[in-house]
Amino acid sequence: MPELPEVETVKNELAPHLIGHKFTDITLLWDKVVKQPSAEDFRSRLIGQEITGLSRRGKYLSIHLSRGDELVIHLKMSGSLLIGKGSSAPPKHTRAIIHLDGGTTIFFSDPRKFGAMWLVKDSSSITGNLGPEPLEASFSPEVLAKRLHNRQAPIKALLCDQSVIAGIGNMYADEALFYARIHPLRQGGSLSPEEIARLHQAIQQVLRTAIGNKGASMVNYYRPSGETGTAHFEFKVAHQGGKNCPVCHSPIQRIKVRNRGTYFCPKCQPAP
């Protein structure tokens, strides 16, 4: 699933192609990709609107429009937003095509059909239950400590809980816990102030590095150009089962934490 670094990359790379342009048409090849409003209202309200900006909240992308609407998109497990020009043929699994003035098209490709779009007046109606943004200046070790206070759930599950922190998923939770030397089954409320400080730093380091590498293309993630990201080439434990830890050379292990495949080093991240 595209996580914060992937969605941030999509936002950054789409912006020059979208801002200042108008919707000329919307082709819905699968109506159920639109969750709100009806497919007919979705098309009629979008056509003619100018794109004034893009933003990201957690794993959600928001496209800001001239009449005060926001087009909110979630790529879910396998979605991609791909740029086409002129008569470009839709990629396989395209569910919607956004047509812009100047001949640019944006293909919403989604093999697993979990992706979704909403057209709303206020994106907080969709994203209002999300936790803090981990890369904002207001996200401090003290904020992280409050989010974890008295929590008995495994820290891996808490990091992936979007109501605790927005944007972190499986891959980057594994990487952050490795850098912070914390076992994924540790109860969130059991972390010491020193461990919380290490985890806070690790979260921000891992996410910023991944954004710099344009996201991780493990399975279905593609940048708007169709190119892949390279963040996965620097993963230390995520999806590295069967390899050795780059620090201590112990075999990296895989376990399930709340039904999520989880990778860690048993020596660098000692069990609770």
Residue 88 has pLDDT above 80, yes or no: no
Residue of 11, 56, 57, 59 marked catalytic? 59
Mean per-residue pLDDT, 208-217:
97
Q: What is the largest CA-CA distance in the chain?
A: 59
pLDDT of the residue at 43: 96
- Average pLDDT of the residues of the chain: 96
Tens of pLDDT along 48-81? 999 999 999 999 999 999 999 999 999 998 999 9
Known catalytic residue: 2? yes
Catalytic, 260? Answer: yes
Residue 272's pLDDT band, with cuts at 50, 70 and 90, is confident
How much is the pLDDT for 218? 82
Angstrom distance (rounded) from CA 122 to CA 240: 40
| Residue 87 pLDDT greater than 80, yes or no | no
pLDDT in tens, 26-45: 999 999 999 999 999 999 99
Q: Which CATH number fits domain 4-127: 3.30.360.10, 3.20.190.10, 2.40.50.100, 3.40.50.300?
A: 3.20.190.10
Task: Mark 102-139 as b/e (b = at least 16 C-beta within 10 Å).
Answer: eebbbbbbbeeeebbbbbbeebeebbeebbbbbbeeeb
Which of the residues 43, 254, 260, 267 is marked catalytic?
Answer: 260
Tokens, residue 65: 């429009």
- What pLDDT does 68 receive? 96
Query: Alpha-carbon distance 19 to 190, whole Å?
Result: 46
| DSSP label at residue 89 | P
Q: Residues in the chain, how many? A: 272
In this prediction, residues 197-205 reach a mean pLDDT of 98
Run of H or E residues at 15: helix 4-18
Query: Residues 6 or more apart from 164 whose CB is under 8 A from it?
Result: 131, 147, 148, 151, 158
If pLDDT is split at 50, 70 and 90, which confidence band does 213 have? Answer: very high
pLDDT at 86: 66
Its CATH class, for the domain covering 141-264, is mainly alpha
Pairing of the two strands 34-36 and 116-120: parallel
Domains of the chain, residue spans? 4-127, 141-264
